[in-house]
Amino acid sequence: MTHFADLSPYAYYDNDIIESDTGWVTYRPRYDRVNIGWLDAPHDFATRPTPHWLPDALLDIIAGPSVNTMRGFHRCTLCPSQDTPEGIMTEVSHPAGTLLLGHAEVRIPVRPGTMYAAPTLIWHYITTHRYRPPDDFIRAAEIYDRAWTTVPSPWIPDDADHMGFD
């Protein structure tokens, strides 16, 4: 996994690619992306309790439109042994079906012009390693509105490339 400090500018991938049930939308964001939860051993991170509702809220966000899905899976470098199935891939049950973590990202609007960018493994980091994201991220997750991915959207530019599934 790549480590980026919380609240640092996002620099992992130039474009955002949102996948939905009908296809993909690809565009170069015109909003600032801010890193949250890009953890990697041996870097330190905040550990404190999180609100009881946060893991379920994050799973709902992860179950929504996928952002920047990659071909491989990142492993959790914080787990003691990466030779276990949990070290290879994290699967989580959700009412929408089994969610695979470690190969995509989420976006959470925080204020006009700024979006949090987190790996889907953030759920694992919170539930297994007691990671505590910044309070502003927690507040943004609490009021998350999935409609930001619906076109037209103030977040997605009019000239975004739309590709449907055949």
pLDDT tens digits for range 44-53? 999 999 999 9
- Residue 94, domain member (yes or no): yes
Q: Chain centroid to CA 31: how far? A: 16
Neighbours of 82 (CB within 10 A): 12
Q: 164 in a domain, yes or no?
A: no
Domain that holds residue 32: 16-144
- 103 found inside a domain: yes
Would 159 be classed as within a structural domain? no
In a domain, 57, yes or no: yes
Radius of gyration (C-alpha) of the chain in whole angstroms: 15
Q: Of the given ranges (20-24, 62-66, 83-87, 88-92), which has the lowest mean pLDDT?
A: 83-87
Q: Using CA atoms, how far apart are residues 110 and 125, in angstroms rounded to an integer?
A: 21
Q: Kindly report the backbone phi and psi dihedral angles of residue 82, in degrees, each rounded to the nearest multiple of 5, phi listed first.
A: -90, 5
Q: Which helix (H) or strand (E) holds 135?
A: helix 135-142
User: Considering the domain boundaries, does residue 163 fall inside one?
Assistant: no
How do residues 79-130 score in pLDDT, each as one tens digit? 876 555 544 568 899 999 999 999 999 999 999 999 999 999 999 999 999 9
Task: Read off the pLDDT of each residue in 55-82 and give the average, rounded to a whole number.
Answer: 87
Instruction: Collapse the DSSP code of 74 into the 3-class scheme (helix H, G, I; strand E, B; otherwise coil) and give the result.
Output: coil
> Which tens digits make up the pLDDT trace of 110-120?
999 999 999 99
pLDDT given for residue 87 in this prediction:
47
Instruction: Select the more confidently predicted residue: 36 or 91.
Output: 36
State how many domains the chain has.
Answer: 1
> Is 58 exposed, middle or buried, given 0-12, 13-18 or 19+ CB atoms closer than 10 A?
buried
Identify which has the larger pLDDT, 139 or 165: 139
In a domain? residue 96: yes
> Is residue 133 one of the residues assigned to a domain?
yes
pTM of the predicted protein model: 0.91
Chain position carrying tokens 């400090």: 5
Listed residue (101, 103, 25, 141) closest to 132, CA to CA: 141
CA distance 31 to 100: 27
Is 149 or 151 the better-scoring residue by pLDDT?
149
Amino acid residing at 138: I
